[in-house]
Amino acid sequence: MEMERQPHVLLLPFPAQGHINPMLTLAQLLCHCGIHVSFLNTEINHRLLTTQRQALSARFPTLHFDSISDGLPSDDDQPRTVAFNLQGIVASLRSKTAPLLRQLLISLIGKKNDVDEDSRSAAAAAARLPPLGCVITDGIMCFAIDAAEEVGIPVIALRTTSACSFWCYSCIPNLIQQAQLPFGDEDMDRIVSSVPGMEGLLRRRDLPSFCRIPTDHPVVQFFIEETKAITRASALILNTFDDLESSILSHIAPRFSKIYTIGPLHALLKSRIGDDDLSSSSAAASLLQEDRRCITWLDSQRLGSVIFVSFGSLVKLTRVELLEFWHGLVSSGTPFLWVIRSDVLWSDEGAHTGHVIPAELEMGTKKGGL
């Protein structure tokens, strides 16, 4: 009976680095409050996070990790290139992962008689947890809303972007209707006037890159569909706070029953568990192998003197773009630390040949950068 009274939530992130990290931070916050959390990654990301999973499970006993197939073949243990196979990943998640999720939810809420043979192991694991009471899904994984509704449990959606960004996505249909999209690559500083609350501020270049492609493109339609579907969630969590984006939140609020503005999530977690515990809990879970040889070099630099450069886990650059950034950093004369993925270049420019270090910049980098 005691187990049945304990709250249990399932968290489902979109399988990309920038979506996993804030969802994992939220998971730690919930566990810190004594809530049981089942964190559901795709199978490949589950394997890639083995070390972090072990550290987090030791730090938070109520944090449980599970995996689900994304329906795609897996030839190696490399993160999916989400930005360049978004259509394939989304199609597979909707067709292959969605029915598996429904079966998992059934097992976690205790309806074991309705579970198929492939989910027996999940049902056995569920027996060690309180019955599931809620799902928190990524805001672009709204098939989870359908699955949760079918089994009768509420769903809360988490959008990992700012309120301003989410509001821009919400206004895409209106921009299309007013023939403001698509706009190609011309006149990128033109003001976009049809996003309420951002008149006079928003430029074309500030909108998502898919606003430059035909509006019937599957990627455009995907974001329109997900942004519409998210309004069916019982509540919306935004990684922001009221004082920062109050004017935009007032436009979003009428579309949802409840909005929780609990960000910045990383700062909230830091305030709850402290710096030392935050470091030991591996709050940021990287899908890529981290090179920590830079730490010694960083420790030798003057406090606050180093420029940190990172384009994240998805961006691709041309060789010309990479060289332009590099020349700027070297010419600045300021120490810099630049995180460069091995696949940062487009494939036809040597993306699979490893790190590209131009000879004309190598000396400047050795003098003041890493």
Active site residue 19: yes
* Burial class for 81, CB neighbours closer than 10 Å (0-12, 13-18, 19+): middle
CA–CA dist 39, 259 (Å, integer): 22
Half-sphere exposure at residue 139, Cβ-oriented, CA atoms within 13 angstroms: 27
DSSP structural state of residue 207: S
Amino acid (one-letter) located at 34? G
Q: Decide: 151 and 111 in contact? Cβ < 8 Å.
A: yes
Residues 6 or more apart in contact with residue 127 via CB below 8 angstroms: none
**Length, in residues, of the chain:** 370
Number of H helices, E strands in the chain: 16, 9
Q: Decide: 162 and 245 in contact? Cβ < 8 Å.
A: yes
N-terminal to C-terminal alpha carbon distance within the chain: 57
Active site residue 138: yes
Catalytic residue among 64, 70, 138, 343: 138
Which residue spans within the chain are E strands per DSSP? 8-12, 36-42, 63-68, 134-138, 155-159, 235-238, 259-261, 307-310, 336-339
Catalytic residue among 19, 36, 64, 251: 19
Q: Which residues are catalytic?
A: 19, 138
